[in-house]
């Protein structure tokens, strides 16, 4: 069973429907015990870093999320869910993220372009053999909606990058059990569905 973490922020139903479409057995839940019992976890999110981090703590989901990752269960972070895996964000100074990965989340620097970055962009793979992108064509387009992006201290985490307004930023990061995308795979047609299919197959 895949638990989609409900902390009151994010388009949970669209993520759930996409996972079900590719064969996932899905439960949307805000209960810590459901998160801990799941075989895989998805951390979605749309909104502000600070509000999300505080709500995760208020619902007693912070430690279960960390425990899930420490036990090497597969976890997929999506958009804000990716950013929450890091220590902090320029969006919400003084608010701690989950701290799974060392690094910070920064705002796009080029004020001459429209922010948020919204629309379809190509992702360039830095690790072409990555399991997340199995059967995904090179230079595929994915759908983005964001004003911030994470900068991991360890560049080896970066699986794929995209470019907007002259800034190249991490579009997908991952290690052996944690995957995270700045784009929305559930809104990215077949390429996005293939990434979800790969996650379900883990």
Nearest 5°: the CA angle 67, 71, 76 is 80
- Out of 3, 91, 146, 186, the active site residue is 186
Task: Please provide the distance, in angstroms rounded to a whole number, between the alpha carbons at the two ends of the chain.
Answer: 12
Task: Specify whether 186 is catalytic.
Answer: yes
Alpha carbon of 14 to those of 11, 17, 30, 185: distances in Å? 6, 5, 17, 10
- Residue 129 Cα to chain centre, angstroms: 19
> What is the three-state SS of 99-133?
CCCCEEEEECCCCCCCCCEEEEEECEECCCCCHHH
Catalytic-labelled residue, pool 63, 90, 184, 190: 184
Q: Which residues, 6 or more positions from 8, have their beta carbon under 8 angstroms from its beta carbon? A: 30, 55, 59
Active-site residue flag, 117: no
3 is catalytic: no
DSSP-derived 3-state class of residue 146: strand
Residue 119 phi, psi (nearest 5): 140, -165
* Strand pairing report for 148-152 and 167-174: unpaired
- Looking at 3, 79, 88, 91, which residue is catalytic? 79
Residue positions annotated with a catalytic role = 79, 184, 186
């Amino acid at each position: 069973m895949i638990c989609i973490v409900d902390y009151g922020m994010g388009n949970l139903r669209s993520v759930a429907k996409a996972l079900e479409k590719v064969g996932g057995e899905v439960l949307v839940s805000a209960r810590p015990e459901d998160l801990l019992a799941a075989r895989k976890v998805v951390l979605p999110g749309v909104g502000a870093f600070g509000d999300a981090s505080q709500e995760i703590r208020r619902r007693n989901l912070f430690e279960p999320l960390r425990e899930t990752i420490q036990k090497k269960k597969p976890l997929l972070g999506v958009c804000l869910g990716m950013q929450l895996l890091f220590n902090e964000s320029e969006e919400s100074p003084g608010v701690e993220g989950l701290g799974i990965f060392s690094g910070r989340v920064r705002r796009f620097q080029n004020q001459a372009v429209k922010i948020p970055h919204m629309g379809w962009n190509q992702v360039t793979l830095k690790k072409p053999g990555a399991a997340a992108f199995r059967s995904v064509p090179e230079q595929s387009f994915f759908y983005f909606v964001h004003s911030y992006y994470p900068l991991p201290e360890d560049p080896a985490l970066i699986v794929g990058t995209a470019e907007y307004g002259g800034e190249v930023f991490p579009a997908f990061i991952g290690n052996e059990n944690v995957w995270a995308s700045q784009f929305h795979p559930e809104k990215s047609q077949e390429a996005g569905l293939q990434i979800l299919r790969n996650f379900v197959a883990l």
